[in-house]
Structure 1
Amino acid sequence: MKETFKAFVVREQDEEFTGALETKHIADLPEGDVMIRVDYSCINYKDALSVTGNRGVTKEYPHTPGVDAAGHVVASTDPRFQEGEAVVVNGFDFGMNTSGGFQEYIRVPGDWITPLPDGFTTFEAMAYGTAGLTAAQSVDELLQRVKPEDGPVLVTGATGGVGSIAVALLLKLGFVVHAVTGKEAEVDRLKQEGVTEVLSRQSFLDETARPLKKGIYAGIIDTVGGPLLASVIRSVQYGGLVTTCGNVGGAEMTLTVYPFILRGVRLIGIDAVQLPIAERVRLWHQLANDWKLPIQEWVDTKSLSEISNVVASLLDGTHQGRTVIEI
């Protein structure tokens, strides 16, 4: 194990935040039970916020972001993890106020670590990342109440990280999928993948504020939040289920209680940050086996030095799909 290593570090100067490659020492890492050599990380919207100085994500700088990491154990005082074992780290405080995955080595508590299923590579784990885990949670919740024969399922933000994986999982499981996107250029691609109907975000936002509309969808996987969620929830069938996991469209929404008390609609919040390790193990096993997708074919691979460019595309809305960072 090297004493020094490469890391992407964000620093603040004169209220401006810039990220660059730096050399760090092993002693710079936080205390923890397990040292991991990182093979891959990936970029999420939360990482983009951390890189640009959002204090709601990261309170103190300098900081190395990256809320996802996959690699191999190089040293451990936790008997649950052995040298050479392939593991993934995400959730909890990792990459937010604790040094994250955009570096060659990390040191974390054992309680933050999930062993990878047999045959599942560290690259595949980061091709999914937190986005894939969140999509898997959403689909898993939906399956508790909705079956393919019940009717179409709507996915909002269908070209984003969570949305695109949710669409693929639903199609693999035999659902008729409708999608909402604000990117007209992506309509043909979504249809080629098997999406039955692609709807514009604005078409929902421009509609009248009737408390209920025709019940079309057996379920909805929402990744956007805000007014869009308030609009689409009015089109859920009796007994349908809606999951929500994002707030890129806004943290607040205005709607009536009628979908809930007249149609028995259930609204389920999805959180991948505090998800217990046992649930993570179960969902990663699903993604590695019955729900396995050719996801490695859909990702763009970048280096640590290219993180700032990817962050810019995430924040201006031009980023598509998943980006894996090869460490």
Structure 2
Amino acid sequence: MNASVDLIDRMSFRGAMLDSTSERARLVEAKVKELPPHNTLIRVEFAAFTDTDASRISGLPLSGQRKCTTSWYAAAGLVVGTEGGRLRVGERVVVTATGGDAAGWLGCSEFLRVCESGVARLPGNINAQSAALVGHPGYMAMLCVCSLEDSGGAPDKGPVLVTNPSSALGQAALLILDRLGYETDTIFGGEVYPEPSNVASSDGRWAAVIDTMGGAVLSAVISGLKYGGIAVVAGATDDDELKSSLHPFLFRAVRLVGIDAETTPAAERDRTWRRIAVDYPITSVDLLAARTVSLEGLESVSRDMVHQKQHGRVVVDLRA
């Protein structure tokens, strides 16, 4: 580890830590050396703050569909120590993941120690605040679009269906696809998505689908894909089983492409963020950022978020 990290290890820092027994998170002060023994130390500048984070900080339950929100974090800042060999001290980076780290630290902590393989370099035209706003859903959405393109997808092939478009990933996917010139269609989850008989079509309605629902919705949508259609699967919020016939795969050359955001190779993470820098309308995301708060403001914003008084995204400024 870099010599300066020995000094940093003795420093105190503040952050949000999850108690695994109670599922409550609280602000604590700790020594940097108490972080997990991974090979890359990041001084966090901005971090996303999610509904799940708000519930954990406030101790209040989420309501409605938000109860099913997947826990994730996104934190951006500077590398201050590394033993991995790929990154250098001083590089601007972003790390996104589901859950917290193994020791329970959430992304809104002044320091994080993570595996270098899960870190991406930030392109020069994306600052740390914008990266936190894009977050894990935006990163996942761009992974989906890149996989769609790698599998032969293009705007002239036909419309792309996005399931559950009200989700953060669905919204991000629609923004990116629109920016790239794709025609899009949507199917909502819950009570409003069509029955499979209304979705299926022997001729095919869609060139591709970006799906986060799985189960009956994905099965029905697959039967509605055109010849050579592509099903990009990034989640299973409804059901993790696929109940589709093999016929679309055997007789219409439909392809099923899975998205794994957790163990994506480092080179692919870097490529994805380079694409975000070009093809994700970050200025639109910035306009949605209704609040930037400090660690001291987490209790207040958490209550507002749980009670649905806060609209728009929230990021934590950890530079103080």
Tell me whether the two structures share a fold, i.e. TM-score over 0.5: yes
Cα distance change on mapping 1:11 and 1:165 into 2, 3 Å: same
**Matches for 1:92-111 after TM superposition, within 5 Å:** 95-98=100-103, 99-111=105-117
Partner of 2:146: 140
Q: Any idea what the Cα deviations from partners look like across 1:251-274, whole Å, max 9, x if unmatched?
A: 123221122122211111111111
Deviations 1:100-130 (A, max 9, x none): 4221111223333222111211112111222
Q: How many pairs does the alignment contain?
A: 292
Structure 2 residue identity aligned to 1:267:
L
**2:18 corresponds to 1:10:** yes
- Give, in whole Å, the separation in 2 of the partners of 1:320 and 1:269: 32
Q: 1:324 deviation in Å? A: 3.1
Aligned counterparts of 2:187 and 2:206: Cα–Cα separation in 1: 13
Which of 298, 304, 313 pairs up with 2:288? Answer: 298
SS in 1 for 2:108: coil
Alignment of 1:59-70 (within 5 A): 67-70=73-76
Query: After the TM superposition, which residues 62-81 of structure 1 pair with which residues of structure 2 at under 5 Å, given as runs?
Result: 67-78=73-84, 80-81=86-87
Give the unaligned 5+ runs of structure 2.
Answer: 1-7, 60-70
Residue 139 of structure 1 and its aligned partner are, at CA, apart by 0.8
Letter in 1 for 2:316: I
Counterpart position of 2:226: 237
In the alignment, the residues of structure 2 paired with residue 128 and residue 209 of structure 1 have an alpha-carbon distance, to the nearest angstrom, of: 34
| Structure 1 Cα separation of the partners of residues 175 and 303 of structure 2 | 27
Q: Cα deviation per residue 1:125-168 (whole Å; 9 max; x = unaligned)? A: 11122211211111112223222222211101112121111101
Q: Per-residue CA shift, 1:169-203, capped at 9, x if unaligned?
A: 11111111111224xxxxxxxxxxxxxxxxx8634
2:316 is aligned with 1:325 = yes
CA RMSD in angstroms comes to 3.3
CA–CA distance in structure 2, aligned partners of residues 165 and 113 of structure 1: 21
How far apart, in 1, do the equivalents of 2:144 and 2:278 lie? Answer: 17
Partner of 1:202: 192
Residues 204 and 224 in structure 2, CA contact (< 8 A), matched pair in contact too: yes
Confirm or deny: 8 A CA contact 1:40 1:71 kept in the other structure. Answer: yes
The runs of 5 or more residues in structure 1 that have no matched partner are: 54-64, 183-199
The equivalent position to 2:39 in structure 1, one of 11, 28, 33, is 33
**SS at the partner of 2:213?**
coil
Identity of aligned residues (%): 29
Scaled by the length of structure 1, what TM-score is found? Answer: 0.76
Deviates more, 1:109-118 or 1:295-304: 295-304
Taking the aligned partners of 2:211 and 2:39, their CA distance within structure 1 comes to 36
